[in-house]
């Protein structure tokens, strides 16, 4: 059962289509885990659709209709399969689009003995979109956030001073929020992190790595 969710404002911006691309991809993956948030986003879509129906119509010239009618033949209809899609615990579809393979096929950059990072390219120039692989029981050294960090657990889980997060759980941290997550003891943890500024390790022992943690948005 998913315990941690995006707040209402984030879900509102997601539904309105105004959340930045990388963040909206992360929220969208959370929704594949969370029927409650799907339902809320659906209800917000109903709000938006009602506003849409009540817009003051803007005049559209007949020539626009002619142009569209003349292009119908070049637009092949799409057929949709009717059967229900199985929602087993496979890799979320959005990640499949970005990864070309499985988690194990990615190129992982080793940050510490417990932490490896693989950067994916969403095309969003302002946000880093990366998978973190934390070894079972491994700790990510205490770090600060210079910007916001959105995290979604994909496999396994981790805990920090606020609680324990399992697959599907969503976290959002603001700049200045210090934490040191530890992966659960019995399973490696894979999570997705979306950042708009690089991490910064706070302990002297790890600070030397900070220059290597530049933001890799693309």
Residues at the contact surface with other proteins, assessed by CB under 8 A: 5, 7-9, 12-13, 15-19, 21, 24-25, 28, 31, 35-60, 64-65, 67-69, 71-72, 75-80, 84-85, 87, 93-94, 97-98, 121-125
Least distance in Å: CB of 179 to other proteins? 22
Q: What is the DSSP letter of 86?
A: P
Q: Which residue number, 19 or 154, has a Cβ lying nearer to other proteins?
A: 19
Q: Which of 119, 141, 117 is nearest to 190 (CA)?
A: 117
Q: Which of 193, 173, 30, 171 is nearest to 122 (CA)?
A: 193
Least distance in Å: CB of 115 to other proteins? 26
Least distance in Å: CB of 58 to other proteins? 4
> Cα separation of 156 and 133, whole Å?
10
Q: Which residue number, 78 or 185, has a Cβ lying nearer to other proteins?
A: 78
Least distance in Å: CB of 132 to other proteins? 20
Q: Please give the full DSSP string across 20-81, using - where no structure is assigned.
A: -HHHHHHHHHHHHH-HHHHHHHHHHHHHHHHHHHTS-PPP--HHHHHHHHHHGGGSPPPP--
- The position carrying tokens 């992360």 is 26
Q: Which residue number, 84 or 104, has a Cβ lying nearer to other proteins?
A: 84
Least distance in Å: CB of 209 to other proteins? 30
Q: Which residues contact 61 (CB under 8 A, 6 or more apart)?
A: none
> Cα separation of 48 and 194, whole Å?
27
CB 89 within 8 A of CB 29: no
Q: Which residue number, 22 or 111, has a Cβ lying nearer to other proteins?
A: 22
Least distance in Å: CB of 31 to other proteins? 6
Q: Which of 180, 178, 94 is nearest to 141 (CA)?
A: 180
């Amino acid at each position: 059962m998913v315990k941690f969710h995006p707040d209402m404002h984030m879900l509102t911006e997601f539904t309105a289509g105004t959340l930045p691309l990388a963040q909206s991809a992360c929220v969208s993956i959370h929704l594949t885990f969370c029927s409650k948030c799907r339902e809320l986003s659906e209800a917000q879509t109903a709000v938006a659709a009602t506003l849409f129906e009540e817009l003051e119509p803007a005049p559209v010239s007949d020539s626009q209709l002619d142009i569209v009618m003349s292009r119908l033949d070049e637009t092949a209809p799409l057929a949709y399969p009717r059967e229900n899609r199985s929602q087993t615990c496979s890799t979320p579809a959005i990640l499949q689009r970005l990864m070309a393979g499985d988690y194990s096929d990615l190129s992982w950059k080793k940050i510490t003995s417990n932490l490896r990072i693989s950067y994916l390219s969403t095309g969003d120039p302002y946000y880093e979109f990366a998978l973190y692989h934390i070894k079972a029981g491994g700790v990510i050294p205490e770090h600060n956030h210079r910007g916001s960090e959105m995290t979604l657990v994909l496999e396994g889980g981790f805990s920090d001073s606020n609680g324990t997060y399992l697959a599907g759980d969503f976290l959002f941290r603001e700049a200045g929020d210090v934490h040191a997550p530890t992966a659960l003891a019995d399973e490696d943890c894979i999570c997705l992190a979306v950042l708009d500024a690089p991490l910064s390790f706070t302990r002297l022992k790890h600070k030397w790595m900070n220059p290597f943690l530049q933001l890799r948005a693309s």
